[in-house]
Amino acid sequence: MTSPVVWMDAFQRASAAMAPFGIPVLDAMAQTTEDQLTPWVLFEVASADGDRLGVGEIVDEETGQIWLHLFVSRGYGALPALERRKALSVAFRVPDGAAPEGLYYDGKSYDPPDNDQTGKWVRFSLAVTYRYQDVVLPLPSP
């Protein structure tokens, strides 16, 4: 399960990174991409696992990846697309204490565009691995 804290922090970071370029970040579950005329970033979160850190622990750890798919039109050029994807990557270089408590951004993976892909849009993807630890307080006894 994706925690709202993770989703909100990552979406805000991606949006702030793309603002200087005038590129919107779209929630994959709330936006349609068919009407886009200029570059955009499609934002997704893929939670991989969630469980207590140990027997009897009240700390739960969730792991997963933030997927950021930068779509640019053919002819846009690889270098501008790479510069914008790099800006997204830098947004997730978070020093200790700069993310919500318990949220850690780890490694990144880059998915190159497929040269055999047809259509107007070309995708440059970035996956940011994250860990989120939150404390689940026990319910009060009746």
pLDDT in tens, 87-105: 999 999 987 778 898 899 9
pLDDT at 70: 96
- Strands 25-27 and 40-52, how do they pair? parallel
pLDDT at 98: 86
Q: Note the Cα 134 to chain centre separation in Å.
A: 19
- Scored b (16 or more CB within 10 A) or e, 25-54 reads bbeeeeeeeeebeebbbbbbbebeeeeeee
pLDDT at 120: 86
pLDDT in tens, 21-36: 999 999 888 766 667 7
4-135 CATH choice from 3.30.2000.10, 1.10.1200.10, 3.40.605.10, 3.40.50.720 = 3.30.2000.10
pLDDT at 136 over 90: no
Domain borders along the chain are 4-135
- Higher pLDDT, residue 13 or 75: 13
Q: Do residues 26 and 15 lie in contact, with contact meaning Cβ atoms separated by under 8 Å?
A: no
